[in-house]
A = this chain, B = another copy of it.
Amino acid sequence: MTSAIVLGGSRGIGKAISDALESIDIDVFATSKNDIDTSNLNSVKGFVENNISTDILILNTGGPVPKKFLDITEDDWKLYHNQLFLGFCTILQNMKINDGGYIFLISSNVIKEPNPKLIISSAYRVAFSEVFKVLSKDFAQKNISCINIAPGPINTERTKELIENVKEYEKSLPMKRLGEPEEIGNFVKSIIENKIKYLTGVTINFDGANSNYVF
C-alpha cells in the first residue's frame, strides 16, 4: 500500500491534501504539531527517526505572523528559519523517499512576488524552493517527482487572520473568490493517481490568476 506523510495535515491545505489522498486509498499520516514541529529541530530529528521512509511526502507548514522588517527580532528570524527552511532540509537529508515517489512542497506565491507584510515567509520559502529545485534533478534519477505548489489566496483560517475584510478582498481577485483547499488537494491527488511523473522540478502558481508576473 502506498504511504504518505502530510506535514501540517490537521488543517487547511494540509488537511485537504490528506483527505484527497485517503480517498484513493493511500495510507496517510497527517501530522499535527504534536507529531512534528518543524520550528524545532529536535522535534524534526525525533520524527525522522521514527518515520524513516515514505512514498509520498508533503512539505507543508504554517507561515509566520505578519511583521514589518524593522520589528522582526533575531529570535523571529531563527524560529522561522527552522520552520520554513531548516526543518525541511533536515527531513530531506534524513528521510528516505521511496523510488517512484513524490515530494510536494506547499510554498506560497510570495516567493515570486514578495509581500512586505510577509517578508519572513517570502525569504525562507524562496530559499527552500531553491534547494528543492536543485534536489529535483537528483530525485529524478530515482523517478521521484518534486512539485512546488505556490498558492495564492486560499480559503483557510490563516487567510482569514491575514485579511481584515475577506468579502471585500474577494471582490478584488480575478476569480472574485478565494481558492478552496480542496482544489489543491484534488490537484495533488490527481497527479499521483494518474502516475504523472514528468511534472517535476517545477513551481506551480495556484492563485486564480492573481499574480502579475508573466510566468
Partner of A127, one of B115, B127, B176, B215: B127
Copies in the complex: 4
User: Which of these binds chain B: A3-11, A25-33, A199-207?
Assistant: A199-207
Partner of A214, one of B111, B146, B152, B154: B111
Supply 28 A–B pairs (Cβ within 8 Å), ascending by A. Answer: A41-B74, A69-B134, A77-B89, A78-B86, A85-B123, A85-B127, A113-B212, A116-B137, A122-B131, A123-B128, A126-B126, A137-B209, A140-B174, A140-B176, A179-B198, A183-B199, A187-B191, A187-B199, A189-B194, A190-B191, A190-B193, A190-B194, A201-B205, A201-B207, A201-B208, A202-B204, A202-B205, A204-B204
- Greatest chain B CB density within 10 A among A119, A154, A204, A208 is at A208
